[in-house]
Structure 1
Amino acid sequence: MEIERIIEANQVVSNILRDCPYEILKKWEVKKFDRGQIVCRQDEYHDYFYIITQGIANIYRAAESGKKYSQSVYKTGDYFGELEIFDKKPYICTVEALTDLKVLRIHRDVFLQWIDKDRNFLLYITRTLCDSFYKLSKKAGEDTLYPLKYKVCNYMRYCLKNGVRRENGVEIQLQKEQLSEQFVVTQRSINRILKLLKEADIIEVTQGTIIVKDEERLRDVEQESMNE
């Protein structure tokens, strides 16, 4: 059973599904998406709850003009679909695979049964939803109050915890276009900040990734730019 192999290989997913009843556990589906593929689209209805088991996804809101606002980047163990599933509402955001993506999904009817039977999961989803709302509120304040240089440095430092350590620094899966969407600014504005950091030998920009060469100096620039 593939879901059992996924649970054994992933501690975060294992914690979420720890007390999931077997009759519900066997109804999970495994789905795979290629990089760039849309998992769920804004303003459309989707009757599933999803847990990411491998890869990274961009959660963004798009305007009619096509401009995107990235609300968050989700990784292994993060879930989506919980906001819309109770009252069958259309998705508030689009979910796009930033890398090849593997997810577990369960139909709405089974999800509601799970909530009713599994107190561990009910507590988990309540706690993590509160944490998500806390981070979104903090982000909304920072987007309004702080300059772009601070926000870019702050976001890079946030991404470091999921980065891969290389000989020349920590590689993070972050594209310039993604930063532009994250802060709803032009690509030119992002390029200007990245150029400053690159000239200071703090980062190196490669195809599809950014390598943070000096974490301490990145933190210093973040703090110095807070009041610019």
Structure 2
Amino acid sequence: MDIRKHLSQVDIFTGLSLQQLDEVSRIVSDREYKKGELVFSEGDDGIGFYIIISGRVKVYKVSPDGKEQIMHIFGPGQPFAEVPVFEGSRYPAYAEVMDNSRLFFFPKKDFIKLIHDNPSLAMNMLASLSQRLKQFSNLIESLSLKEVPGRLASYLLYLSDKNGSIDEFELDIAKSQLASFLGTIPETLSRIFTKMTNKELVRINGPQIVILDRTGLEDLAEGESKL
């Protein structure tokens, strides 16, 4: 599949003509990364942004004591690191590929020129950033106001909704990474999964999750019940 075809399937390029997509495709750098490879480090110059074509990327911060806190996980079709493009700032976190991945890189100077020539691009970017801000706000609320069982319940319901509100699905990240994402440690996460299983809220087989009691899981996520 050519670059233009990939771009046409990304939300921020919705509504662009074939000629405009050709203009965008000419500035794209098509890059491949191996699992575990850094895309950029916190403090690097924000020289452009990325769109994931295949694979996944985690964006995370590292505390002074070396603890990793995952801020977001991005998948195919999603852009990341757009803010430094507009702020002229440095990357505020680390970005690392979680699988062998293919990314499109958009250099800042070239992309800003495209925005001047195609104002609809700016509107699409604003819509994408607004959605990201809402997701990040929900994450902060979950991490700061909910106890760990509620955070985990919220995440499992999120995965269910993401997969079409089905009751059987797989975790999209390793449990150790999920613990980091939820702001806890693997041992605590394991104990909570065990309690959820004992209460027959879920059934767990490796990465496979089956929701047995959606209402009970929703009550836990909303803080209306405890394990």
**Runs of 4+ off more than 6 Å:** none
Aligned to 2:60: 60
1:12 Cα deviation from its structure 2 partner = 3.0
Q: SS where residue 10 of structure 2 aligns?
A: helix
Q: How far apart in 2 are the matches of 1:190 and 1:94? A: 24
Is the 8 Å Cα contact of residues 38 and 96 (structure 1) preserved in structure 2? yes
| Equivalent residue in structure 2 for 1:12, among 10, 26, 45 | 10
Q: How far apart in 1 are the matches of 2:168 and 2:2? A: 36
Is the 8 Å Cα contact of residues 24 and 110 (structure 1) preserved in structure 2? no
Judging changes above 3 Å, is the alpha-carbon distance between structure 1 residues 132 and 24 closer, same or farther for their aligned structure 2 residues? closer
Is the 8 Å Cα contact of residues 21 and 118 (structure 1) preserved in structure 2? no
Identity %: 16
**In structure 2, what residue type is equivalent to 1:223?**
D
Moved more, 12-21 or 110-119: 12-21
What are the residue-to-residue correspondences of 1:1-228 with 2, within 5 Å?
2-7=2-7, 11-12=9-10, 15-16=13-14, 18-19=16-17, 20=20, 22-163=22-163, 169-199=168-198, 200=200, 202-206=202-206, 210-214=207-211, 217-224=213-220, 226-227=223-224, 228=226
* TM-score normalized with structure 1 length: 0.84
Gaps of 5+ in 2: none
**In structure 1, what residue type is equivalent to 2:210?**
K
Measured against aligned partners, the alpha-carbon deviations of 1:184-219 in whole angstroms (never above 9, x if no partner) come to 21221111112223443723242xxx21222x5255
Q: SS where residue 219 of structure 2 aligns?
A: helix
Measured against aligned partners, the alpha-carbon deviations of 1:88-135 in whole angstroms (never above 9, x if no partner) come to 322111111122221111111111112112222211111121121122
1:224 Cα deviation from its structure 2 partner = 3.4
Pairs aligned (count): 221
1:170 Cα deviation from its structure 2 partner = 1.5
Gaps of 5+ in 1: none
1:5 Cα deviation from its structure 2 partner = 4.6
* TM-score normalized with structure 2 length: 0.84
Judging changes above 3 Å, is the alpha-carbon distance between structure 1 residues 114 and 213 closer, same or farther for their aligned structure 2 residues? same
Q: SS where residue 130 of structure 1 aligns?
A: helix
Judging changes above 3 Å, is the alpha-carbon distance between structure 1 residues 104 and 36 closer, same or farther for their aligned structure 2 residues? same
Is the 8 Å Cα contact of residues 160 and 172 (structure 1) preserved in structure 2? no
Aligned alpha-carbon RMSD (Å): 2.7
Q: How far apart in 2 are the matches of 1:133 and 1:5? A: 28
